[in-house]
């Protein structure tokens, strides 16, 4: 049974309030609006539990408080939501400032959440599953009442090659994809793909020859492989980001391994060697606490790990916290590791 001092109790009171507000905005009110006021039992019960826990924290704020085992799954969900909520808000502020003082203040604001998430009770608790609007409404009617419907417009192509999508299109598409996946209770895979030893290719064959004879064929292969499975974005001459909805770890691993093999079998006019690629995979669940920028960064970090281990392999994370200590290689040169 975790115990919280008065300072943490006050923080958790506000954290619980934040999740309750989100719950009302994204679940309770849209369903109420669509059904003429009918509230399903699952929403009513969860709303009551949120209110009770918030009131429990908000009692005597100058006193410590214990939370029994029944409240811990909901409390973990509150902290996971708060972590993502704060990170998204702080990302926007960091884009506006160069002040180290402001950045340090943002870090200090995030520290209590990080500390609480490191505690043993948190690590050993399974969070509650939050309902989705599509648990109660049809997809068409969901889009009519949800507070921020996904923008279903297409993305722009990369200006230089016009084969893959532009990097500026990625984060808006990921946001859209994560909302769609949340509605359907499915995972989203993001894979950062990098050509191994690309600088050596440029040096050996010249940048103009690589741009003319090698890169377009690589990008056409990626685009064809990803077609109907997701979207592919060009992030540089040798880096590509893949957005793959509705793939679990096994399916994503097999999909990326096949892509690796196809790229490795390509032959290029005037370039007398095969290429290899390192891939970093970040798989996010519908309720993941990572922000969209963090998903991109984690996929990039996994790709760097793949290069550090052996190149020509796929690396990803185990568990739910995406730390460097959680990185592992899921396959090396076509052979999966346990």
pLDDT tens digits, one per residue of 204-221: 999 999 999 999 999 999
Position 100 scores a pLDDT of 96
Query: Within its chain, how far is the Cα of 288 from the centroid?
Result: 6
- Asked whether residue 335 carries a pLDDT value surpassing 60, the answer given is no
pLDDT mean over 48-62: 93
For the stretch 151-165, pLDDT in tens is 756 678 999 999 999
Q: Residues spanned by CATH 3.30.70.270 within the chain?
A: 167-336
SS3 category, 220: helix
Average predicted confidence (pLDDT) for the chain: 94
Direct distance between the N- and C-terminal alpha carbons of the chain, in angstroms, rounded to an integer: 35
Residue count (the chain): 338
What pLDDT, on the 0 to 100 scale, is given for residue 252?
97
Q: Is the pLDDT of residue 89 over 60?
A: yes
pLDDT of residue 22: 97
Question: Could you read off the pLDDT of 273-331 as tens digits, one per residue?
Answer: 999 999 999 999 999 999 999 999 999 999 999 999 989 999 999 998 999 999 999 97
State in words which class domain 167-336 has: alpha beta
The residues near 151 (Cβ < 8 Å, ≥ 6 apart) are 172, 176
Q: What is the pLDDT of residues 232-289, one digit of tens each?
A: 999 988 999 999 999 999 999 999 999 999 999 999 999 989 999 999 999 999 999 9
Q: Return the pLDDT at 332.
A: 64
Which residue in 76, 107, 75, 74 sits closest to 90, CA to CA?
107
104 pLDDT more than 60: yes
Sign of the C-alpha dihedral, residues 280, 285, 286, 289?
Answer: negative
- Residues 69-95: what's their mean pLDDT? 97
Predicted local confidence at residue 154, as pLDDT: 63
The residue whose two tokens read 């918030």 is 54
pLDDT in tens, 162-191: 999 999 999 999 999 999 999 999 999 999
Sheet of strand 277-284, all strands in order from the earlier edge strand to the far edge: 231-234, 239-245, 188-195, 277-284, 313-317, 327-332, 335-336
Closest CA to 184 of 242, 155, 142: 142
Q: What is the pLDDT of residue 123?
A: 94
66-73 mean pLDDT: 94
Give the whole-number percent of the chain exceeding pLDDT 70: 97
The two tokens of residue 188 are 């989203």
pLDDT band for 106, please (50, 70, 90 cuts): very high
Confidence category of residue 1, pLDDT binned at 50, 70, 90: confident
On whether the CB atoms of residues 291 and 91 are closer than 8 A, the answer is yes
pLDDT, residue 334, reads: 43
pLDDT at 187: 97
- What distance in Å separates the CA atoms of residue 151 and residue 72, rounded to the nearest whole number? 36
pTM value is 0.89
Residue 265 DSSP SS3: coil
Q: What angle do CA 76, 85, 127 make, to 5 degrees?
A: 15
């Amino acid at each position: 049974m975790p115990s919280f001092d008065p300072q943490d109790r006050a923080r958790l009171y506000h954290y619980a309030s934040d999740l309750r507000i989100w719950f009302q905005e994204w679940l309770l009110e849209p369903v109420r609006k669509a059904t003429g006021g009918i509230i399903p039992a699952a929403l009513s019960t969860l709303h009551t539990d949120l209110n009770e826990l918030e009131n429990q924290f908000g009692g005597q704020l100058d006193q410590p408080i214990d939370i029994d085992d029944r409240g811990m799954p909901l409390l973990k969900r509150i902290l996971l939501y708060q972590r993502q909520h704060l990170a998204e808000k702080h990302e926007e502020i960091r884009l506006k400032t160069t002040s180290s003082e402001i950045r340090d203040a943002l870090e200090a604001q995030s520290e209590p959440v990080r500390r609480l998430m490191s505690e043993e009770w948190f690590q050993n608790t399974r969070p509650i599953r939050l309902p989705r609007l599509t648990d109660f409404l049809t997809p068409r009617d969901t889009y009519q009442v949800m507070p921020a419907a996904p923008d279903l417009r297409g993305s722009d192509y990369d200006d230089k090659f016009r084969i893959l999508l532009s990097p500026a299109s990625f984060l808006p598409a990921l946001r859209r994809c994560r909302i769609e996946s949340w509605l359907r209770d499915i995972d989203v895979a993001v894979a950062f793909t990098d050509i191994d030893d690309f600088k050596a290719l440029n040096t050996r064959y010249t940048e103009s020859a690589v741009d003319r004879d090698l890169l377009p064929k690589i990008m056409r292969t990626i685009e064809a492989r990803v077609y109907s499975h997701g979207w592919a974005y060009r992030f540089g001459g040798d880096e590509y980001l893949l957005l793959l909805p509705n793939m679990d770890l096994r399916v994503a691993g097999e999909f990326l391994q096949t892509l690796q093999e196809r790229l490795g079998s390509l032959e290029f006019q005037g370039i007398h060697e095969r290429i290899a690629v390192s891939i970093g995979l970040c798989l996010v669940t519908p309720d993941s606490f990572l922000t969209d920028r963090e998903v991109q960064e984690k996929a990039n970090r996994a790709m760097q790990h793949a290069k550090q281990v052996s190149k020509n392999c796929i690396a990803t994370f185990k568990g739910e916290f995406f730390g460097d200590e959680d990185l592992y290689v899921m396959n090396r040169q076509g052979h999966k590791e346990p």
